[in-house]
Amino acid sequence: MNFFLGEIVDRFYGFIWPMLRCSSAFLLAPPFALAAFSLRLRILFSVVLAWIVFPLYDWPRIDPVSAQGLLAISNELLIGVSMGLILQVVVAAMVVAGQAISASMGLSMANMIDPNVGNVPVISQLFIILGILVFLGFGGHGILLSIILESFQTLPVGKDFSQGQLIESILRWSSMMFLGGVLLSLPILGTLLFINAGLGVVTRAAPSLNIFAVGFPALMISGFFVLWLSSEGIASRMQWLWLQGIAMIRSTVLG
């Protein structure tokens, strides 16, 4: 009986390591981090993936409450969270692009409560939905799961690595939030800039013209029309951003 109990404890200590990395990755990585995925679903996905990974590798016997165990726990959590943070930068780029477009179109006051990223404009909400559909369309969720499985081979449990270097790479990657926002919003912002310039010329030529009565409808209609025309190009840029995020995960986590 004692032998059986000791075997159960050893297996539990081995199972906790893949569970930590998988659950921390699902905590932030889209689409698993969406509010549509409840906490129970995330726990279920983490348990199932950890159960699949558990018989594939030999897990070290590390006491979780020891100093070495606490260091290993922090490493596992950092690896999983870093995967989610890298992909969350892409989501933030979509939010930034939507905010810039909404401000140019005069929709800054039309905000929606998004439980994932907070109070965001309607264009940002549209970009987030479109971006998640693009991510699922080219199989990004499957690629993410394969990276998590592969990470146990390149970064085995208990292996020392530079946490500072990993955090520094994530901070450098965060600049993609602004670059991606510019790339996604550039067609609409460029068009609205010329329309604003034209409205300025018209206002200068006819000062009695009510610019608010003419400008707001013109900017809104033109913005939605250009957004519809450039939707294919925006979707391709979203796919490029997701692929850049996946490549960043491979270079930082998988080396």
- pLDDT tens digit sequence for 32-68: 877 777 778 888 888 888 888 888 877 777 777 778 8
- The two structure tokens encoding residue 186: 């550039």
pLDDT band for position 239 (cuts 50, 70, 90) = very high
pLDDT band for position 211 (cuts 50, 70, 90) = low
Over residues 201-223, the mean pLDDT reads 72
pLDDT tens digits, residue range 157-205?
Answer: 777 777 778 888 888 888 888 888 888 988 888 888 888 777 777 777 7
Q: What angle do CA 84, 127, 252 make, to 5 degrees?
A: 25
Over residues 17-31, the mean pLDDT reads 84
Those residues with Cβ within 8 angstroms of residue 121's Cβ, 6 or more apart along the chain or in another chain: 98, 99, 101, 102, 103, 107, 108, 110, 111, 112
| Alpha carbon distance 161, 195 (integer Å) | 53
End-to-end CA distance of the chain: 44
Residue type for position 35: A
- The answer to whether the CB of 241 falls within 8 A of the CB of 138 is no
CA separation, residue 230 to residues 14, 25, 94, 215, 242 (Å): 50, 33, 15, 22, 18
Which pTM was predicted? 0.82
pLDDT tens digits, residue range 119-154?
Answer: 667 788 888 889 999 998 888 888 888 888 888 888
Over residues 66-90, the mean pLDDT reads 86
Place of tokens 């013109």: 218
Those residues with Cβ within 8 angstroms of residue 199's Cβ, 6 or more apart along the chain or in another chain: 211, 214, 215, 218
pLDDT band for position 99 (cuts 50, 70, 90) = confident
Number of residues in the chain = 255
What mean pLDDT value characterizes the chain?
81
| Alpha carbon distance 135, 93 (integer Å) | 14
pLDDT number for residue 242: 93
